[in-house]
A and B are shown apart, each in its own frame.
Chain A
Amino acid sequence: MSPAGAMTRAGGDGVSGDGIVISGVTRSFGEVTAVRDLALRIALHSRVGVVGPSGCGKSTLVGLIAGLDDPDAGTIEVRGRRVAPERLASCALMPQKDLLLPWRSALDNACLALENRGMSKREAYARVRPMFPKFGLAGFEDRRPSQLSGGMRQRVSFLRTLVAEKEVLLLDEPFGALDSITRATMQQWLREALDREPRTVVLITHDVEEALVVCDEVVVLSERPGRVVERLASDLPGASSRRELVASPEFVALRGRAMAALEC
């Protein structure tokens, strides 16, 4: 197990320090303890994939970090802030289902956070419209979600999360609802999108491969009550495409270690 403080990305681009510090966190719902004595340190601008068996408290963890929920014991700091509303101010959540608003066009959906901040529609459009081509959505601005494919809906959903301009992105199984081919394309795409827009990312997934492809660190949680059982650096240089990456021996070895940690 690598030390809890390992920072793989900090330093290189002039950003350092802690993004998220979780220590001794326990959260129960009635009889069920979702996470117990969980400790996790996530460096600023690093991307951490959190994998674990279903029901290991991954989604609880997201709610806790985001400040939508408070732990029963322990502390959570997001960029040095402990109080729930202040954590909320730093976090944006991208849920599993794309949850686009069916009555809004793709552009209006992406503008949601700006409108919530009181920006006029025109201003918001001027800000967000130029981002559409980069997200492979050029020409689809006025489409309603029902007229977009699953992959496009997830990209609009991701864009909407980015536009909130929060330091921390919490991606809760963002591609869980997609077919495996679209999923593979989206993983590669998300990697590149995050290279362009560096943020502190927590990617919740049940797919070890996805975590290894998108993130530079992978944390394996135990069965409920969830705690960290393995932490792997997956900063694999060199490979440009997902396919090359997935086929490399280093990747295969890492995946093996992660899978082994999942099973114990």
Chain B
Amino acid sequence: MLDEAQQAMAVATPSERAGRDFPRRRPNRLLQLGPAMLLVLLLLGAWEAVVRLGHVATYLIPAPDAIATEFYDGRAVLFSAAWVTLKEVLLGFFAAVALGLGLAVLLHVSAVLRKSLYPLLIGGQNIPVVVIAPIMAILLGFSILPKVIVVALTCFFSVVVNALDGLRSVDPELKRMMKTLHGSRWATFRRIEFPAALPSIFTGVRIAATFAAVGAVFAEWSGSNNGLGFVMLQATPQLETALVFASIVLLAVMAVALFGFVSIVEHLVIPWAFDEKGRT
């Protein structure tokens, strides 16, 4: 046991020195995905087996290998359609993120705007996209614009609500302290509120990423001449079920990729939010 005076002189106590070597656990993310991958493979195998052994008609449920064949045969149609949908998804998604963040900041800064707009925003969230999409198609026709708008509307709310929530839930004690450290309103926003809100902002953006593809499909169903939603709409009455499934797979890949992209950006922008977990 160290004498107290001595301890005070060697200001960093032994337990603190140990802090130098806090283990930085970086589990291999691919390994973490292992169980999920295995489950997917098992399910695919079971699916294939049931369809083959049960002699299920291909137009009802195509086996995975039939879907794979469809991918190859219909690649020209599928990939051009996927490209169209991808453009709608990305444009709508990024527009929603940009506008959503902008609006959240405005609502955060102005109490008047918050009181007047926020209830409308919450109300607006309850109008289903399925209802809005046909109206957009009537108003704006078959161009890409109505689809982008519908995707943006689908994504918008979760971005705004989460961003605003993050901005507003900053510890008030932190803001008090900032005032005593020469902190202006602007300095408090950019050095405290905005960075503190980033984890919450990313949550909203990640949720938006999962909804974007759904919004695009609804928009295409309401009026379009290309895109994965259009392909599905065409293939269904012709009982080309494998093509429908192939479209679904591509939509899922798109959604997962967008989600993954947002997660990677999140890790790069706010690494501190991840090493914080389990320690405060």
Which residues of A line the B interface, CB within 8 A? 63, 66, 68, 88, 91-97, 99, 101-103, 112-113, 115-117, 135-137, 139-140, 143-144, 146-149, 151-152, 155, 160-161, 164, 166, 170, 182, 184-185, 188-189, 192, 240-243
Contact = CB atoms under 8 A, between A and B. Distances in A.
Interface stretch (B84-92, B182-190, B249-257): B182-190
A93 B195 contact: no
Given A68-B179, A92-B181, A146-B275, A188 B4 contact: yes
5 contacts: A103-B195, A136-B12, A140-B20, A144-B272, A241-B3
- Where chain B touches its partner, the secondary structure class is helix
A146 B19 CA distance: 10
A43 B55 CA distance: 93
Nearest to B278: A146
A147 B192 contact: no
Given A99-B173, A189-B8, A241-B8, A152 B184 contact: no
Given A113-B181, A116-B187, A102 B272 contact: yes
Nearest to B175: A68
Nearest to B15: A149
Given A63-B176, A99-B177, A185-B8, A147 B19 contact: yes
Nearest to A182: B13
Interface of B: 3-5, 7-8, 10-13, 15-16, 19-20, 22, 171, 173-174, 176-184, 187, 191-192, 195-196, 198, 270, 272-273, 275-276, 279-280
A241 B279 contact: no
Contacts of B178: 112, 116
A99 B276 contact: no
B231 to A, nearest CB: 44
Contact of A113 (B11, B182, B270): B182
B191 A152 contact: no
A112 B181 contact: yes
A89 to B, nearest CB: 9
A185 B177 contact: no
Contacts of B275: 144, 146-147
Nearest to A59: B173
A253 to B, nearest CB: 22
A128 B178 CA distance: 18
Contact of B180 (A68, A139, A144): A68
Given A92-B180, A164-B182, A185-B7, A149 B19 contact: yes
Nearest to A105: B272
B16 A152 contact: yes
B124 to A, nearest CB: 33
A188 B8 contact: yes
A137 B3 CA distance: 20
Nearest to B274: A146
Contacts of B192: 101
A241 B4 contact: yes
Given A116-B187, A144-B275, A93 B7 contact: no
A182 B11 CA distance: 11
Nearest to B184: A116
A241 B2 CA distance: 13
B68 to A, nearest CB: 45
A35 to B, nearest CB: 18
Contact of A241 (B5, B174, B176, B181): B5
A94 to B, nearest CB: 8
Contacts of A144: 272, 275
Contacts of B181: 92, 112-113, 116, 160-161, 164
Contacts of A147: 19, 22, 275
B191 A101 contact: yes
A140 B21 CA distance: 11
Given A112-B191, A146-B276, A147-B19, A97 B180 contact: no
Contacts of B3: 241, 243
B4 A185 contact: yes
Q: Nearest 7 CB-CB pairs, A to B?
A: A136-B11, A241-B5, A113-B181, A116-B182, A93-B180, A149-B16, A188-B8
A135 B11 contact: yes
A203 to B, nearest CB: 16
Contacts of A240: 5
Contact of B174 (A94, A99, A146): A99
A27 to B, nearest CB: 15
Give the interface centre of A102, A135, A139 by most chain B CB atoms within 10 Å. A102
Contact of B13 (A135, A143, A185): A185
A66 B175 CA distance: 13
B279 A146 contact: yes
